[in-house]
Structure 1
Amino acid sequence: CAAIEPMVQKWVKTLPPNVVFRSVPVAFNASMADLQRLYYTLDVMGRLDLHPAVFKAIHEEHKPIYDQKAITDWAVSKGLDRAKFVAVFTSFGVQAKVTRANEQAKSYQIEGTPSISVDGKYVTSPSMTQSYEGTIKEAQKLVDMVNKK
């Protein structure tokens, strides 16, 4: 996901006004569940601007932010209030977002990340296109196809 994220952000800026792009983080195993919760916590707190810093912490700084304590410590290091962060991280609202994301992944038959779903019917991914760039190109073709209907 970290590798394709900059490409996705660039592509999203080119989408027509009638297209809504929404990131849906998915955890395919228990070790990723708290990172999924982190994304939705940042979303609820209005701090998705920190999302690229999550990738940086994991992939460049090699910080083991995989459990609630480590994630909370990381969030506090980025200026977030510990008590507020923990309250949101453990909230029903965040759990509802996690549950909905997992249901979407299952209904769209997402088997790996990153994947891009268009119109809730079509899915593409690097495993299908053999590259991140190919995934973006295929997603654009799908958007164009859906818009022609």
Structure 2
Amino acid sequence: MIKLFSAMLLSLLIPLTATAAQYSDGNGYTTIKNPVRTSDPSKVEVTEIFWYGCPHCFSLEPITQAWKKNIPDDVDFQYLPAVFGRSWLAHAKAYYVADLLGVTDKIHTPLFNAIHVDRRNLNSEDALASFFTEQGVSEEAFRKQYDSFAVNSRLSQADAKIRAYGARGVPGIIVNGKYLVSAETAQGNNNIYKVVDFLIEKERQ
């Protein structure tokens, strides 16, 4: 009986051990050299660094949306627009304008679709003002925020965070300010949130 119990216990432990060993630093994710403080230490923070003009970010977006539907209470998800080039700035501003106006749900996915499906050029304030108006946001409200102190402050904070993360491309997922997951480290967009889930559990422990 003792031998039988030991064999049963071992059979249960083997899958767990295999799962735990599935990912490691350099295999699935990279560890950030100097961890970055999160906004809420009581939760595991998951941050997606993105750019609306990035086709890989566009491909990841439906996967992100599906994953977000089942976010546990102890996980805090955030978007972080990157500005790795001059043409990225207008899109980052658009995200923060939407966030400040409380219309992110109206703007976020439609803006991705407008750029990548409809092939619209939305790289200027005027073009984005027209787009926001189409989504039911007043042009006056959009323009009031576009070059505001609040938007520019958030841009500066985002740039500082991204530099601290050591991120050099998009999309990238930061887990709890400690780990960076990308399509490259995870071997494809479809695996990104599998690694993220693994790291969330790692942080819980």
If the TM-score is normalised by the length of the shorter chain, which range does it land in? over 0.9
The higher radius of gyration belongs to: 2
Taking the aligned partners of 1:41 and 1:7, their CA distance within structure 2 comes to 24
Which segment is superposed worse, 135-144 or 71-80?
71-80
1:35 to 81, 86, 91: 91
Higher helix share: 1
Tell me the alpha carbon deviations over residues 47-93 of structure 1, each in whole angstroms, 9 at most, x when there is no partner.
11121000010000000001111111211222211111100111100
Taking the aligned partners of 1:77 and 1:15, their CA distance within structure 2 comes to 30
> What's the secondary structure of 2:180's corresponding residue?
strand
Taking the aligned partners of 1:65 and 1:42, their CA distance within structure 2 comes to 15
Greater relative contact order (CA < 8 Å, ≥ 6 in sequence):
2
Taking the aligned partners of 1:33 and 1:127, their CA distance within structure 2 comes to 25
Deviation at 1:130, TM superposition (A): 2.0
Percent of paired sites with the same residue? 28
Q: Does 1:85 align with 2:142?
A: yes
Unaligned runs of 5+ in 1: none
Taking the aligned partners of 2:69 and 2:132, their CA distance within structure 1 comes to 28
Question: What is the alpha-carbon root mean square deviation over aligned residues?
Answer: 1.0
Deviation at 1:16, TM superposition (A): 2.2
> What's the secondary structure of 1:21's corresponding residue?
strand
| Amino acid across the alignment from 1:137 | K
**Aligned twin of 1:66:** 123
Unaligned runs of 5+ in 2: 1-56
Taking the aligned partners of 2:62 and 2:145, their CA distance within structure 1 comes to 27
The TM-score normalised by the length of structure 1 is: 0.95
**Aligned twin of 1:24:** 80
The TM-score normalised by the length of structure 2 is: 0.70
**Aligned twin of 1:13:** 69
Moved over 6 A (4+): none
Higher strand share: 2
Structure 1 residues 144 and 58, CA gap change in structure 2 (3 angstroms): same
> What's the secondary structure of 1:144's corresponding residue?
helix
Taking the aligned partners of 1:14 and 1:119, their CA distance within structure 2 comes to 18
Taking the aligned partners of 1:42 and 1:62, their CA distance within structure 2 comes to 21
Number of residue pairs aligned between Structure 1 and Structure 2: 148
